[in-house]
Amino acid sequence: MRAFIFPGQGSQTVGMGKAMAEASRAARDVLEEVDEALGQKLSALMAEGPLDTLTLTENAQPAIMANAIATLRASGLDVAEKADFVAGHSLGEYSALCAAGAFDLATTARLLRLRGQAMQAAVPVGEGAMAALLGASLEVAQAVAEAAAQGQVCTVANDNDPSQVVISGHRTAIERALDIAKEKGARRAVLLPVSAPFHCPLMQPAADAMADALAGAALASPAVPVYANVTAAPAGQPDEIRELLVRQVTGMVRWRESVVALWEAGVTQYVELGGKVLGPMVKRIAPDATVISVVTPDDVDALVREI
């Protein structure tokens, strides 16, 4: 069995999508449609930068999705025919839903622009932070967050793989967690260069904004089940998907558990579209899995030959 998987924020790079658009009319069509939906030349920002503007949450989120869907459509592969499941990391869940036909491309782009804006606006700059705990299990990370909170918000945001967990919350709590993590046995604890504390209760205003936006967004049943971040389980009904996407804004990204669940469901091949971020995580979670990362036109050709 096979899953198509889609990367999240942090995978953006200047030049993304450029070679794919030059090689594929289908990829160009994706970027042009996203530009039109947003009323912005996002494709030019993706191709030329500058990086600090591309990295702004409101730009990075639709850009990463557009790159992933352009890569998929350049392949010409039918998701319903070639994938048994889809999944994505954080914003990548929207890419997965778009790939599976639950959202159309323009709707996905507009939702991610709003999501990025709402997440950035939820917490004043400088008040929140995130940190990666390396060489720490989920249980250790939860203990670190609990000890560091001291009346503030400090929670696990991303359970990425057995050796990498991300925490999120008030900046002073996260800074306390850096020292506590080392005391509890983490190999390293590093602040992440992010502009807001994603996937924690401080994001509630953004969750409220997404609840309103999703309530009015056209959403169909996906062609294949989508593994949801907050449950690490497949979802297929529109109302359920809406609810899970709202919960995802403040909830933990259960990526490690999602891959475990996919593996236990019989998925042995994982195809990452538009990035090389999730593939290494998958291998650390399921060492016997086959991972294909698809970034370049040559990768697309290899994927088509492979599957």
- Do 112 and 138 lie in one domain? The reply is no
- Per-residue buried b or exposed e for 20-45, using 16+ beta carbons within 10 Å of the residue's own CB: bbebbebbbebbebbbebbebebbeb
Q: Domain containing 173 — which CATH number? A: 3.30.70.250
- Do 187 and 60 lie in one domain? The reply is no
Spot the catalytic one: 90, 95, 258, 293. 90
For each of the chain's 307 residues, which pLDDT tens digit applies? 999 999 998 889 999 999 999 999 999 999 999 999 999 999 999 999 999 999 889 999 999 999 999 999 999 999 999 999 999 999 999 999 999 999 999 999 999 999 999 999 999 988 999 999 999 999 999 999 999 999 999 999 999 999 999 999 999 999 999 999 999 999 999 999 888 999 999 999 999 999 999 999 999 999 999 999 999 999 999 999 999 999 999 999 999 999 999 999 999 999 999 999 999 999 999 999 999 999 999 999 999 999 9
The Cα-based distances of 226 to 45, 151, 170, 295 in angstroms read: 30, 36, 31, 22
Coil, strand or helix: which one is 147?
Answer: helix
Domain that holds residue 175: 128-194
- Do 17 and 80 lie in one domain? The reply is yes
Spot the catalytic one: 43, 95, 195, 199. 199
- Do 140 and 277 lie in one domain? The reply is no
- Do 177 and 230 lie in one domain? The reply is no
Whether pTM exceeds 0.85: yes
Number of structural domains, the chain? Answer: 2
CA distance 121 to 249: 13
- Do 148 and 20 lie in one domain? The reply is no
pLDDT on residue 85: 98
Which of 137, 162, 194 finishes a domain? 194
For the question of residue 90 being annotated catalytic, the response is: yes
Q: What is the largest CA-CA distance in the chain?
A: 55
For the question of residue 199 being annotated catalytic, the response is: yes
CA distance 31 to 95: 14
Which of 194, 226, 241 finishes a domain? 194
Q: Domain containing 91 — which CATH number? A: 3.40.366.10
